[in-house]
A and B are shown apart, each in its own frame.
Chain A
Amino acid sequence: QQQVKQSPQSLIVQKGGISIINCAYENTAFDYFPWYQQFPGKGPALLIAIRPDVSEKKEGRFTISFNKSAKQFSLHIMDSQPGDSATYFCAASIFGNQFYFGTGTSLTVIP
């Protein structure tokens, strides 16, 4: 059973456009929601994370929107660049002791 559901599986965006990836969860005990970015041949690396006491977090071109009542959160990449082409994973954690990952979204930003 997938604890965190992620969509879409793949995404193609024009350079300068907005990339949006969505995730949903069921377990209300989750208290930490990170997004990871993975380039080919590399391990995932933390991109941005949010805790459920805030509804939005922004770091540069990357924004997490969090809807606690709907148990959904999303990653928005503004002004998408070819260098953003990677696989993105959402995740949820309880006290940082166990991480549950979505199935990943392969993002391609075309020039």
Chain B
Amino acid sequence: DVKVTQSSRYLVKRTGEKVFLECVQDMDHENMFWYRQDPGLGLRLIYFSYDVKMKEKGDIPEGYSVSREKKERFSLILESASTNQTSMYLCASSSPAQSANTEAFFGQGTRLTVV
């Protein structure tokens, strides 16, 4: 059974803290993504990565950074958490189109509250 695993389901952090959200996939996928989900706004792409040590900004990268040191792991970092970063964060992975299945697989999400 394929899996994308996010390290925490719920997190509460204080304003100004540095926050790490971890994501691991076991499907040997090249692509990994971080989205945030807010009511009425859908899923918005924060960052994505095509390969180890590669990263590309998505639509809303401000206030975030990422790290991909190993193929299976993609970390999202909030350098200095703010209350407007309170949200549901979703990690996903996929294979490029050369393979048969281009489906994006999602983790269960991390609900982050910044107080």
Chain A residues at the B interface, C-beta cutoff of 8 Å: 6, 9, 31-32, 34, 36, 41-46, 49, 89, 91, 93, 95-104
Contacts and interface: CB of A to CB of B under 8 A. Distances in A.
Interface of B: 4, 31, 33, 35, 40-45, 48, 50, 90, 92, 94-97, 99, 102-109
B41 A96 contact: no
Contact of B104 (A34, A102, A104): A34
Contacts, number: 69
Contacts of B107: 43
17 contacts: A31-B97, A41-B109, A42-B109, A43-B108, A44-B90, A89-B43, A96-B94, A96-B95, A96-B99, A96-B102, A96-B103, A99-B33, A99-B92, A99-B104, A101-B35, A101-B42, A103-B40
A46 B31 contact: no
Nearest to B97: A95
B33 A104 contact: no
A49 B56 CA distance: 25
A99 B35 CA distance: 10
B41 A103 contact: yes
A49 B40 CA distance: 23
Contacts of A46: 103-105
A97 B96 contact: yes
A12 to B, nearest CB: 17
Given A34-B104, A44-B90, A45-B106, A97 B31 contact: yes
A36 B104 CA distance: 10
Given A31-B97, A42-B108, A46-B103, A97 B50 contact: yes
B58 to A, nearest CB: 8
Contact of A96 (B43, B96, B106, B109): B96
A43 B109 contact: yes
Contacts of B41: 103
A91 B95 CA distance: 16
